[in-house]
Structure 1
């Protein structure tokens, strides 16, 4: 591992040892044939010639989709360029030390760039930001072309205008979990953005509170 001076503030000293290899990261950046949509902008590979596998995947998606969750956009700056991905799978983990997690698919193109950056910001979307969620869930090459944002003070990651709040983090550890990775971040900074209603995702569609 490189010298400790290159480790971002708040990152575990052995965090890089839990990260995927450079070869695996590069392989994620290629095109992948995808079949079953799971979360906004996220799909998982299922063998289309196996009807039972497809049926099980759809049942899994439909049942788990009955659990309503908030919608976030995870952002970072990699090689001087902003990157982002819509993420429904986010959670707090620990108060001491302050840790959170998000769970990107192995097919994600944004995650390898975030991994290289070593830091990220989780933006909590408001009820009127469904279009922003769709933009960040797309595979477009310039997702930020019409998005208003500013860099966070701690990591320089994009803080999206209009977000309900944000959590700015350094990567603490990464763990393999089936066709996803569990990314644990150490919180460096966080704040609320406003009293607006949250954007939620429920049974394959956006919704919000009354």
Structure 2
């Protein structure tokens, strides 16, 4: 006794697949259909297979022509998939930019990937035929998340949480320095020694810290008279500096191991190349990334920084609070384009959206966050992000207990309660 068709469909519907358009050519023009039964067969020679129902017209045409192409759809191309599935009326090739591959079969120019194939085997498979094609040409025109089919519905990638998250503090040193140097406003308890002790405590918890100045005690190489306001004794790899021009770059000694951060803009690529030539690790930064009108500019900046050789790419939220929807839309695209270069995000705490956006970022493929101890500069609070990760059972290499203790020390130095929400409960 075999399983009934309804149960069989329901069970197979729980297996998520990509969505592709299988196309071919004939004397009457191009033809195609949406297909989910597509997969790889062999690397050497390169073979793929598609399964086509024997009663459909595309099956007849592939059998006659001996060629087919497969265009893999991205998450934003469901409308193309619907049209080739026959759910919409009209010319199936009117959506998107289609062109003939070498076999003559059409491929989608904006596809996530496409393959052009010559049929080398055709096997009976019940009411389908299994066509095995030798891949003659293949391209990946666009990097984005794929369109998925699951349980008779089309959607985007599932939202698994990362196995680990980590943080870097990009705001504490600058906020303390501003407080320290503000004429007549700094509490007496805000001292250079206290600032240095706090920064060292954060670093000792396993957090990379951005400092406004080259750390003291680094090898010679900075210009004479360069500031040394932050007396740091830690390994240089634990520190980063924001570098805005070539003059600032030469303050960082060659082969020092300190990480430099370079913002996108005119001359950024040349500055990145100069930093890498000095043996420095580079983080490329892009600002105001969640502004709706900025998405294409942000993605173009990500592409430039990947090409320039940045070890990480950091995306900073702008002055307007982003919604989780905006965060998801941008990050899913940016993570796919940056891969394998890791993407990190600096979020703001505004209207209670900070942690919601952090969760959205995690579920969009982000593992690294730029934060500030106590959230004293309006950025997302370091200990709050770690609290969220702990509640989600997401591991972190950061010593959260040490960071909470540092936040308690910061409150004493700062002279008032911190914006962070969890450090008191955890102290």
TM-score where L is the length of structure 1: 0.70
Shift of 1:146: 4.3
Where structure 1 has 5 or more consecutive residues not aligned to the other structure, the ranges are: 1-52
Conserved in 2, the CA contact under 8 Å of 1:175 and 1:182? Answer: yes
Residue 14 (structure 2) pairs with residue 66 (structure 1): yes
Aligned to 1:203: 151
Mapped partners of 2:153, 2:55: distance in 1? 22
Aligned to 2:100: 151
Aligned to 1:3: none
Residue 108 (structure 2) pairs with residue 160 (structure 1): yes
Mapped partners of 2:50, 2:32: distance in 1? 13
Could you say if the C-alpha distance between residues 146 and 72 of structure 1 is closer, same or farther in structure 2, counting changes exceeding 3 Å? closer
Query: Which string of whole-angstrom CA distances, capped at 9 and with x for unpartnered residues, describes residues 11-69 of structure 1?
Result: xxxxxxxxxxxxxxxxxxxxxxxxxxxxxxxxxxxxxxxxxx9x921111011110000
Aligned to 1:25: none
Shift of 1:103: 0.3
Aligned ranges 1:25-174 → 2 under 5 Å: 56-138=4-86, 142-152=91-101, 154-174=102-122
Mapped partners of 1:160, 1:194: distance in 2? 11
Conserved in 2, the CA contact under 8 Å of 1:118 and 1:170? Answer: yes
Conserved in 2, the CA contact under 8 Å of 1:100 and 1:184? Answer: yes
Q: Secondary structure at the match of 2:14?
A: coil
TM-score where L is the length of structure 2: 0.35
Could you say if the C-alpha distance between residues 104 and 141 of structure 1 is closer, same or farther in structure 2, counting changes exceeding 3 Å? farther
Mapped partners of 1:177, 1:77: distance in 2? 23
Name the larger-Rg structure.
Answer: 2
Aligned ranges 1:18-29 → 2 under 5 Å: none
Detail structure 1 runs of 4+ shifted over 3 Å in the superposition: 139-142
Query: Which string of whole-angstrom CA distances, capped at 9 and with x for unpartnered residues, describes residues 51-107 of structure 1?
Result: xx9x92111101111000001001111115000011101010011111100001112
Conserved in 2, the CA contact under 8 Å of 1:75 and 1:83? Answer: yes
Conserved in 2, the CA contact under 8 Å of 1:83 and 1:114? Answer: no
Mapped partners of 1:202, 1:107: distance in 2? 24
Q: 1 or 2 for the larger relative contact order (CA 8 Å, sep ≥6)?
A: 1
Q: Secondary structure at the match of 1:103?
A: strand
Mapped partners of 1:143, 1:171: distance in 2? 23
Could you say if the C-alpha distance between residues 184 and 161 of structure 1 is closer, same or farther in structure 2, counting changes exceeding 3 Å? same
Mapped partners of 1:81, 1:106: distance in 2? 20
Where structure 2 has 5 or more consecutive residues not aligned to the other structure, the ranges are: 158-363, 365-427
Alpha-carbon RMSD across the aligned residues, in angstroms, is: 2.0
Mapped partners of 1:174, 1:71: distance in 2? 22
Q: How many residues align?
A: 157
Could you say if the C-alpha distance between residues 155 and 96 of structure 1 is closer, same or farther in structure 2, counting changes exceeding 3 Å? same
